[in-house]
Amino acid sequence: MGAGLFFFSYLALNFNTWWTYNSLTDFGLFLQAMNDPSGMLRNSVEGSHFYVHFSPIYDLFAPFVQLTHSVLPVLIFQSLAGMLVGLGVYELAKTRLPNNYAIAAAWVGFLYPPLGGLIYNAPYETCFAPAATIWLFVFVLRRNWLAASLVATFTLGIKEDQGVFLAWDALIAGLYARKTEDRDLMRFAVVCFCVSLAVPTAWLVWRNEVHASWIALSPVFSPVASAVTPPVTSMLRRIGFLCEVLVPLGLLPLMSGRWLLFAVAPLFEVLIPPDDSLRDVQAHYSGVWIGYIMVAFVMGAARIGANRPAMLPKVFAWCLFASAAILIFASPLHWKATVHGRTTQDAVLDSILTNDLPRRGTIGVSNGPFGHLWRSRRFELGLKRLPCYALVDPSLLPETQLQLFSTISKREAGEYSVVWEKDGVSLYRRNTCHPPK
């Protein structure tokens, strides 16, 4: 019931965001990349997505996008990925806790606010990391090495930093296997460690060759310097971030002992860089640590159950209450601002995008329309690449529209003139551009 409710709720939420032209910038970018039949994930913003991130996971989804010409397959996979987190929590918990507490743990997984913020978002690669992480632990603990190998391979294809995390996991597992003389685990850990470092390294070398420069030497953990705050403020925000991570889970991950070691590398990725946006639990960066924190949550609950079983009802009551309350009243999903029905302006945009746009020439648009125009790379996000046309609708997300209109009015991308205006939507043409008829 929990899995079904989670799946259909987030599928409906994400579809509604796209349907009402509120999809974020990267939504159209990812769909445009998956619509590229070459397998290079090309889009009008990045060139090839492989130049920015190693994410062949998108190539697995690409055939579904190209066959259906629809956003639905990706939204389905995204919702399934979130659903599998709760199911994975149950699989970890059912052999370590009484069944009713294992079910409660799964519901905590479904209600965990950072997971909601991750899944109710653009389909970033990291959406698929928490489920992959948890199920990797499930299969390793079951000693199902074939399934564990397949999940590890899938995980390596999510993003380049997953290789670093898997190598860290393999190092910890290898040290434990050496101590306990577990040869099977040692073999798996050694292979996983070597492959996990080799794959992102090969990608970095390839990317360097493509760009013909030494950008491959830039760290995987890029210390983005935008939105930097004073040291004391930044420290307090890091503490606040850890509270957002741990409080809904009743601090149980802190009681998991060595299991918390697995979360060190992914947490460091978001704790060390100076950019505070990395520590926003609504942002897609949370995908790198959610799986590890949920594993530690289950193991912490198992330790409490073994040592102080009388505490379990209170702890799980808190986890369920806190997660649900935060999700409803202090939600990273921002219900009031993002969830609403279709407007008459949405219907106007539907008609304009279908019937009124020029049939030739590149067109710069903002995030909302870009999410509907991803099927062709002649549609671009913004005016950075000097498209022939620009489409502006002030009724959409104000900050993106103001930026687009400001670029046109200040002539920062050349001189544009109005071609037509319909129901508040304006089409501009760059004066030096004469697309073929």
pLDDT per position in the chain (437 positions), as tens? 999 999 999 999 999 999 999 888 899 999 999 999 999 999 998 899 999 999 999 999 999 999 999 999 999 999 999 999 999 999 999 999 999 999 999 999 999 999 999 999 999 999 999 999 999 999 999 999 999 999 999 999 999 999 999 999 999 999 999 999 999 999 999 999 999 999 999 998 888 765 544 443 444 444 444 455 677 887 888 999 999 999 999 999 999 999 999 999 999 999 988 878 888 888 899 999 999 999 999 999 999 999 999 999 999 999 999 999 999 888 887 777 788 899 998 999 999 999 999 999 999 998 889 999 999 999 998 888 889 999 988 776 555 556 777 778 788 778 889 999 998 899 999 998 876 66
pLDDT at 222 (0 to 100): 43
Domain boundaries, the chain: 2-337, 344-430
pLDDT at 335 (0 to 100): 78
pLDDT at 332 (0 to 100): 80
Contact between 237 and 276 (Cβ < 8 Å): yes
pLDDT at 218 (0 to 100): 43
What number of other Cβ atoms are within 10 A of residue 163's Cβ? 24
Compute the distance between CA of residue 149 and CA of residue 251 in angstroms, rounded to an integer. Answer: 31
pLDDT at 152 (0 to 100): 97
| Neighbouring residues of 386: CB distance < 8 A, sequence distance ≥ 6 | 413, 414, 430, 433
Contact between 253 and 246 (Cβ < 8 Å): yes
